Chains A and B, each alone.
Chain A
Amino acid sequence: AQSVSQHNHHVILSEAASLELGCNYSYGGTVNLFWYVQYPGQHLQLLLKYFSGDPLVKGIKGFEAEFIKSKFSFNLRKPSVQWSDTAEYFCAVNFMGNDMRFGAGTRLTVKP
């Protein structure tokens, strides 16, 4: 079955630390890949997405993600996190249908 896995449930970092959140999916075909973020008290919003072209995708607020097809991965990165990055991060995959499958989410806490 098609599924999306996020490796870390809760990540705690200090400001200026580097961030990498893992995301893997199980499907051998063509996919569209997304990272959504939910800040405290706010609704889900798009950070970045990949559907074709350069596998290194840059999003808002300094985030980027790299699609590695051979590893079925789409990890999210940021070189230096800020306190305002505290949020829940969701990886999502569209398996070329119209439904989106989400991972369970990773809660990021950034200590000032």
Chain B
Amino acid sequence: GAGVSQTPSNKVTEKGKYVELRCDPISGHTALYWYRQSLGQGPEFLIYFQGTGAADDSGLPNDRFFAVRPEGSVSTLKIQRTERGDSAVYLCASSLTPTGAETQYFGPGTRLLVL
């Protein structure tokens, strides 16, 4: 497909478990972003990659959250010891370049529910 894809679309887990969320950006896009959207809120920035490196991870809430993009394409957001407060929709976006004026193209999101 031509758009950003995310898997799984839904994830239910128990408190304390580990989860991985995957993002497959648009081919050729060098910049990749992760956001978290809680109910009734706009997306909240988590981390941004330029190529393989995390250029800005200032939005990660704590050290339970980690993301990788080892080959500069697919990215995985990893959450350790999940808490109920981590329940949200996790959005991934990509853009052709990382300049601020570039349009970010969003995926459908992964809805995470921590019981």
- A residues bordering B, Cβ < 8 Å? 4, 6, 32, 34, 36, 42-46, 49, 51-52, 90, 92, 94, 96-105
Contact = CB atoms under 8 A, between A and B. Distances in A.
- Indicate the size class of the contact surface on chain B: 20 to 34
B81 to A, nearest CB: 25
Contacts, number: 62
Given A51-B101, A104-B40, A98 B48 contact: yes
Contacts of B56: 97-99
B98 A44 contact: no
Contacts of A99: 33, 45, 48, 56, 58-59
B16 to A, nearest CB: 29
Given A102-B42, A105-B42, A44 B91 contact: yes
Contact of A100 (B58, B104, B108): B104
